[in-house]
Amino acid sequence: MSKNILLIATGGTIASMPEDSGLAPALSGKELAAYVPEIRGLCDVNVVQPMNIDSTNMRPADWLRIAEEVERSYDDYDGFVILHGTDTMAYTAAALSYLIQGSRKPIVLTGSQQPMAAPFTDARLNLYQSLLYATDPLSHDVSIVFGGCVIVGTRAHKQRTMSFNAFTSVNYPLPAVIRNDRIVRDSAMGMSITGIPVATAGHADLDAGEKDLPRPKTYSSLNERVIVLKLTPGLTPEVFALLKPHYDAVILETSGIGGVPEYEGASFERAIFDWVDSGRSIVMTTQVSEEGLDLGVYEVGRAYAQHRGILRGDDMTTEALVAKTMWALGQTSDPDELSELFYTPINHDRAPR
């Protein structure tokens, strides 16, 4: 039986056409699907278009609109493919991982580095492979399919601005790669959502058990008052006082494995402790993409390891930290409840503590 897939078009490079001022989203989702006639032999596709924007203009309110489209149509489709610009795709994938948790159906984001109408585009293959992945019975939860790679929705980072392999998976293995029209899964990734080992699960077994799986847990609130602050040489701690009127949480990108400077006459420790003691939150992470944070290694980080209100990003991406902090603060302002939500692994976003 052919799978029913909902294609959610939001704009981005994949939908762009040249205009006087440069590339801008112009093609609709239906027009994009028409460029890939191979879809007709793969699945039945319906298209919705909640927006048609450059992903640079994507905001948390738009994440909620996309999540609402999935939730509204969840019972009517076997999977979802979201066409999205590459610049903020990793943020949206992470946000959807928190807004729609534990989906037994695949929610796949894709896009392209070249517009669909360009002569040497990557758009057609990315769209086809995303639909292929969305129709496979072993696929579930939120992921990005791009350049033949499947990346968990909370682990993606845009690494390249022009190359077709634009995204990398940070601190987590690829659950699958796609070679032309064949999905090759990593059997070392463990169990599928049904508890059937992915290396041995039969499609018939998964289909038979799908009706017994629960609906995902969904959320509809985010706190947008979150900012990323990169510690650069010479930055002074007075910046925290400037941020106080506008933000409830700071994602603080420290040096190396967790270093925070202490300049003579300028105490970051005092400014950070004052920030969290005022009821705000700080998430400590690192500017280094791979291997994560450990505040206990150096003296310049150890002082922050146990202070109430300071959360540790460990091996999470900055994109996931932004989305998770917005989601967690959207549910509670209580420090203990916030900590519990933050440290609970969701869609493989962090190594279990």
CA-CA-CA-CA torsion sign (234, 230, 273, 295): negative
**What is the pLDDT at residue 193?**
39
The whole-angstrom separation of Cα 40 and Cα 337 is 48
86 catalytic residue (yes or no): yes
Average per-residue pLDDT for the chain: 87
Strand-by-strand arrangement of the 310-312 sheet: 226-230, 249-254, 281-286, 310-312
Packing angle of the helix pair 318-331, 89-99 (nearest 10 deg):
40
pLDDT digits (tens, 9 = 90+) for 150-195: 999 999 999 898 788 889 999 999 999 999 899 999 865 544 433 3
| Backbone φ, ψ for residue 126 (5° rounding) | -60, -45
Q: Show the 3-state SS of 141-202.
A: EEEEEECCEEEECCCEEECCCCCCCCEEECCCCCCEEEECCEEEECHHHCECCCCCECCCCC
pLDDT digits (tens, 9 = 90+) for 186-200: 865 544 433 334 433
Residue 215 has pLDDT above 50, yes or no: yes
**What is the pLDDT at residue 294?**
72
**What is the pLDDT at residue 261?**
72
Q: Which of 352, 348, 295 is nearest to 169 (CA)?
A: 348
Residues sharing a CB contact under 8 Å with residue 308, sequence separation 6 or more, in sequence order: 276, 335
Residue 100 has pLDDT above 50, yes or no: yes
Q: Which of 67, 73, 132 is nearest to 100 (CA)?
A: 67
Residue 302's pLDDT band (cuts 50, 70, 90)? low
The whole-angstrom separation of Cα 323 and Cα 82 is 18
Length of the chain in residues, anyone? 353
The whole-angstrom separation of Cα 7 and Cα 13 is 16
From the candidates 86, 92, 168, 285, give the one annotated as an active-site residue: 86
Q: Is 21 helix (H, G, I), strand (E, B) or coil?
A: coil
Taking residues 54-78, report their average pLDDT: 96
Q: Where in the chain is the domain with CATH 3.40.50.1170?
A: 4-218
135 catalytic residue (yes or no): no
The whole-angstrom separation of Cα 107 and Cα 46 is 15
pLDDT digits (tens, 9 = 90+) for 8-22: 999 999 998 877 667
- The terminus-to-terminus CA distance of the chain in angstroms comes to 42
The whole-angstrom separation of Cα 3 and Cα 103 is 17
**What is the pLDDT at residue 198?**
42
From the candidates 10, 13, 110, 254, give the one annotated as an active-site residue: 13
Q: Where in the chain is the domain with CATH 3.40.50.40?
A: 226-343
Residue 299 has pLDDT above 60, yes or no: no
Name the more confident of 308 and 9.
Answer: 9
Packing angle of the helix pair 60-73, 89-99 (nearest 10 deg):
50
Other beta carbons less than 10 A from residue 175's beta carbon: 25
Domain 4-218: CATH architecture, name and number where available: 3-Layer(aba) Sandwich (3.40)
The beta-strand segments (E) located in the chain are: 4-9, 16-19, 22-25, 44-48, 79-83, 100-101, 106-110, 141-146, 149-152, 156-158, 167-169, 176-179, 182-185, 217-218, 226-230, 249-254, 281-286, 310-312
Other beta carbons less than 10 A from residue 160's beta carbon: 13
The mean-pLDDT minimum among 41-45, 294-298, 304-308, 322-326 falls in 294-298
CATH number for the domain formed by residue range(s) 226-343:
3.40.50.40
